[in-house]
Amino acid sequence: MSFVTYEAKDLIGIVTINREKALNALNTQVLNDLEEVIDGVDYDTIRCLIITGAGKKSFVAGADIGEMAEDTKAEGKEFCEHGNRVFRKIETLPIPVIAAINGFALGGGCELSMACDIRIASDNAVFGQPEVGLGITPGFGGTQRLMRRIPVGKAKEMIYASINIKAEEALKWGLINAIYPQDELLPAAEKLANRIAAQAPIAVRAAKAAMNEGIDVPMDEAIQVEVKHFSDCFETADQKEGMKAFMEKRKHEPFQN
């Protein structure tokens, strides 16, 4: 049995972490299942992914504490590398990924959401990196991504003092883009995913790659990243049709993959 389910809906895919009894906590099997599902997506067809958690209480309540409790240093390192490898894979997928955060996003859950391109949340969502209260640091990217998503000082305050924040505060700090009532979260995520899927897909992929490749390099190098991706788009049928349709004041033909 897999702890991660996948549903393809036309041009979008929905990945659900499904270990509700443990609030979708990430143990080794969940990480393996998540990677297997991500690897199995048909990226020739699917143009946007949504990642969410099963149930109405939790997105992901963190890495599995029970599994880590007796770990040696070497085992802790292996678990950290495992989670980081899977999350980096998600972050660098060729298509955009939306985290639909339907409750607790603590520790590894907050970290999973931060590996996604876009975060939207339900009104009961709670975010935090409470690891220092367990005697460890965040280990699936939290020490690195939180300070890249919100101001460094706020990230340090949350991590050092193990402070969890509710959806409203996460919105204020820009950690999430929007808040929805629980029942409206997934429909909102699907609407956004479908809007992304309706754009020129090669251009969307190029935009994601340009932003990902450029974010951590000096500006002159980052500009060259943009030059490459922008110019590559001129070899696509979508660019020809998209611009021709604009000039002819008509709706463009459906974009191609």
Question: Interface residues with ligand CAA (CB under 6 A)?
Answer: 22-23, 25, 61-66, 83, 104, 106-108, 111, 130-131, 134, 138-140, 142
**Dmax (CA) of the chain:** 67
Instruction: Return the active site residues.
Output: 111, 131
201-214 and 219-232 helices, crossing angle to 10°: 170
CA distance 245 to 12: 25
CA distance 80 to 132: 15
CA distance 121 to 192: 13
| Closer Cβ to ligand CAA, 4 or 61, answer by number | 61
By three-state DSSP, how is residue 38 classified?
Answer: helix
Q: String of b and e for 39-65 (b: at least 16 CB within 10 Å)? A: eebeeeebbbbbbbbbbeebbbbbbbe
- List of residues 6+ apart from 57 with CB closer than 8 A: 20, 23, 103, 104, 124
Smallest gap from Cβ 249 to ligand CAA, in A, equals: 52
Smallest gap from Cβ 203 to ligand CAA, in A, equals: 34
Place of tokens 């060729």: 94
| Closer Cβ to ligand CAA, 22 or 188, answer by number | 22
| Closer Cβ to ligand CAA, 95 or 112, answer by number | 112
Smallest gap from Cβ 117 to ligand CAA, in A, equals: 20
* CA angle, residues 86, 147, 79, in degrees to nearest 5: 30
| Closer Cβ to ligand CAA, 74 or 247, answer by number | 74
| Closer Cβ to ligand CAA, 96 or 107, answer by number | 107
Smallest gap from Cβ 33 to ligand CAA, in A, equals: 16
Q: String of b and e for 154-183 (b: at least 16 CB within 10 Å)? A: bbeebbeeeebbebebbbebebbeebbeee
